[in-house]
Amino acid sequence: MPAAIAVRELSKSYRVGVKEPGLRGALKHLVQRKHRDIHAVQAVSFTVEPGEIVGFLGANGAGKTTTLKMLTGLIRPSSGHALVAGQVPFERKRAFLESITLVMGQKQQLIWDLPAHDSLKVNAAVYDLSPREASARIAELAEMLGLREQLSQPVRKLSLGERMKCELLAALLHRPKILLLDEPTLGLDVNAQDAMRRFLREYNQRHGATVLLTSHYMADIQALCPRVLLIHEGRLVYDGSLSGLVERFAPYRQVRIDLARPAERSELSRFGEVEALDGLSAVLIVERARLTETVARVLSELKPLDLAVGEPPVERVVGQLFLEENLAAKLGGPFAQGDAAREPASPGAAAEREPS
């Protein structure tokens, strides 16, 4: 079975004007323009198999949204190739448009002053769905999303969480094979985020849809994505499992201690960074290279009642990676792109992938 998404050496550059500040700079810019090139995406390669849910991670400005826009055909790549559902995205053929959907957390397609149900009727007409088929699909998706009377209310009167559910229903009405989701839980409260994750998981299982998801909420990635792609300054620097990402880029361990006596932060900081201290419970962050030595010292000097060593929370690891100087130091040079040399895998194989 061909890959749902196949990307090879995909790049996008923009030429922008460079102007010196002040009136002098503005006048000079009129007669002697200078430009510089911004490389938003640089030679990115990966494949996504049918039915996979893949997380797409990176800091703001790393190139995530630009990549998604190229995959939907909204912008044309400067170089490289992409096939989505077997189609070239920027050709925007009808078969391609009927196979994909793009949901952006900060954008809306529903008509603000009309009930959501009226906008859904418009979407159904665009995709040539019969009234009977449209009603059946709306009922199915509304049940999965927990939407009832909300569909008959004007969109402007819905809460943000209800509005995002309606937006997602509208985007999935034509039952696309490939979902490209850019921050779909942006701004939602904890309960709405959890409901959105449960829906996406159920939709994937029920319809076998392929999902490429960007999010700054690591709970989204942990709940949905066995495999992640990490992009930094337009380059793909990691393709593998989420646990492998932590193992590869986190040079420290988390040490949990149950103390036999109260201790001050200053005393505990001799063993590592004190992440938490609550009564007789403490959490230390210790460099992997010094772990054995540090644990021995803790046991000898503090004589704790209990001690456990584990991986740091994935939120902490990825949060640190999003700091450019931190990630640049860890990379130390060009990385082989994990998926570029890999043969297409069977659906579901991403969970067993090791970091490249």
Provide the sign of the torsion angle of the four alpha carbons 303, 304, 305, 308, taken in this order: negative
Provide the sign of the torsion angle of the four alpha carbons 337, 342, 347, 351, taken in this order: negative
Q: What is the mean pLDDT of residues 58-70?
A: 90
Residue 132 has phi, psi (to 5 degrees) of: -65, -45
**Residue 282 confidence (pLDDT) above 90:** yes
Q: What is the mean pLDDT of residues 51-73?
A: 92
Tokens 């893949």 sit at which residue?
54
DSSP sequence for 185-200 = TTT--HHHHHHHHHHH
Distance CA 80, CA 145 (A): 38
**Residue 347 confidence (pLDDT) above 70:** no
**Residue 176 confidence (pLDDT) above 60:** yes
pTM: 0.76
**Which pLDDT score is estimated for 101?**
94
- pLDDT top residue among 188 and 274: 274
Query: Which amino acid, residue 7?
Result: V
Query: Could you say which DSSP state residue 38 is in?
Result: E
- pLDDT top residue among 311 and 262: 262
For the chain, strand residue ranges (E) read 5-18, 34-48, 53-57, 79-84, 100-104, 178-182, 210-214, 227-232, 235-241, 252-258, 273-278, 281-287, 306-310
Distance CA 192, CA 162 (A): 8
**Which pLDDT score is estimated for 236?**
93
Q: What is the mean pLDDT of residues 143-147?
A: 91
**Which pLDDT score is estimated for 326?**
59
pLDDT above 90 covers a percentage of the chain that reads: 60
Structure tokens at 58: 């990176």
Residues 231, 44 contacting (CB under 8 angstroms): yes
Burial class (CB in 10 A: 0-12, 13-18, 19+), 127: middle
Query: Could you say which DSSP state residue 335 is in?
Result: P
Q: What is the mean pLDDT of residues 276-290?
A: 91
Residue spans of alpha helices (H) in 127-251: 131-145, 160-172, 190-207, 218-224, 242-249
- pLDDT top residue among 340 and 68: 68
Query: Could you say which DSSP state residue 32 is in?
Result: S
**Which pLDDT score is estimated for 131?**
93
Which residues 6+ apart lie within 8 Å of 130 measured at CB?
none
Confidence of residue 30 (pLDDT cuts 50, 70, 90): confident
Q: For residue 227, list its beta bridge partners.
A: 54, 241
Distance CA 124, CA 139 (A): 13
**Which pLDDT score is estimated for 340?**
34
Please list, residue by residue across 74-105, b when 16 or more beta carbons sit within 10 angstroms of its beta carbon and e when fewer do.
Answer: ebebbebebbbbebebeeeeeebbebbbbbbb
Name all domains of the chain by residue range, CATH numbers in brackets.
5-99+176-247+318-352 (3.40.50.300), 251-310 (3.30.70)
Distance CA 36, CA 154 (A): 46
316-332 pLDDT tens trace = 777 777 665 556 656 65
Confidence of residue 335 (pLDDT cuts 50, 70, 90): very low
**Residue 344 confidence (pLDDT) above 70:** no
Distance CA 227, CA 55 (A): 6
Give the count of beta carbons closer than 10 Å to the beta carbon of residue 149: 6
Q: For residue 79, list its beta bridge partners.
A: 11
**Which pLDDT score is estimated for 325?**
54
Distance CA 335, CA 61 (A): 19
Residues 41, 11 contacting (CB under 8 angstroms): yes
